[in-house]
């Protein structure tokens, strides 16, 4: 059983309504992965995800919030905020301390095996992984695999 941090883009894409082919594909892969992982793996999230989902108005908002209900919420404490500060100081993540840096800090500190996201600019970005691995090593925390639902589908031994 893998421990998987579910970032905001996952419930958002689960209920995506845009009809461009890439959006339809991402929604399909998200739903396919969720059906495969839910109940088998330990899916976890955070209050940051709920805050992001609750912000603004968009189709599927209530459904996305409902999808996440019942998932364990990882605790945010001073140690997590120090990790966020380190990410921001080293310019590894955008300057918003309650966004991507917080998601990565939570998944890292709480020993998640994976952080699943569709954010390929800042999180599931292979060009950033080496820097994240180095800094997390210095900080003495684990490094989750930063992946999309598509990457998790069909991998032997992976959810």
**Per the structure block, which two tokens stand in for 28?**
């399909």
Sign of CA dihedral 159, 122, 47, 62: negative
E-only strand ranges, 83-151: 114-116, 145-147
Cβ of 150: how many Cβ atoms within 10 Å? 16
| Calpha distance 8→144 (Å, rounded) | 16
**Confidence band (pLDDT; 50, 70, 90) for 159?**
very low
- The domain limits of the chain are 3-152
Question: What does the pLDDT look like over 30-58, one tens digit per residue?
Answer: 999 999 999 899 999 999 999 999 998 89
| Calpha distance 123→114 (Å, rounded) | 11
At residue 17, does pLDDT exceed 80? yes
**Could you give the 3-state DSSP secondary structure of residue 144?**
coil
Poorest-pLDDT segment among 21-35, 82-96, 98-112:
82-96
Arch. (CATH architecture) of 3-152: 3-Layer(aba) Sandwich (3.40)
Alpha carbon 113 to its chain's center: 11
The residue with tokens 């330990």 is 42
At residue 61, does pLDDT exceed 80? yes
């Amino acid at each position: 059983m893998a421990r998987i941090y579910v970032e905001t883009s996952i419930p958002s894409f689960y209920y995506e309504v845009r009809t461009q082919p890439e959006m339809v594909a991402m929604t399909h892969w998200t739903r396919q992965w969720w059906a495969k992982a839910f109940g088998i793996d330990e899916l976890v999230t955070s209050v940051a995800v709920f805050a992001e989902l609750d912000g603004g108005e968009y189709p599927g908002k209530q459904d996305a919030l409902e999808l996440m209900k019942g998932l364990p919420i990882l605790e945010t404490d001073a140690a997590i905020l120090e990790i966020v500060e380190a990410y921001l100081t080293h310019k590894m993540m955008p300057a918003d301390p309650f966004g991507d840096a917080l998601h990565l800090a939570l998944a890292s500190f709480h020993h998640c095996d994976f952080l699943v996201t569709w954010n390929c600019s800042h999180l599931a970005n292979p060009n950033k992984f080496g820097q994240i691995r180095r800094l997390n090593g210095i900080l003495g925390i684990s490094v989750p695999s930063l992946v999309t639902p598509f990457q998790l589908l069909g991998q032997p031994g992976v959810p």
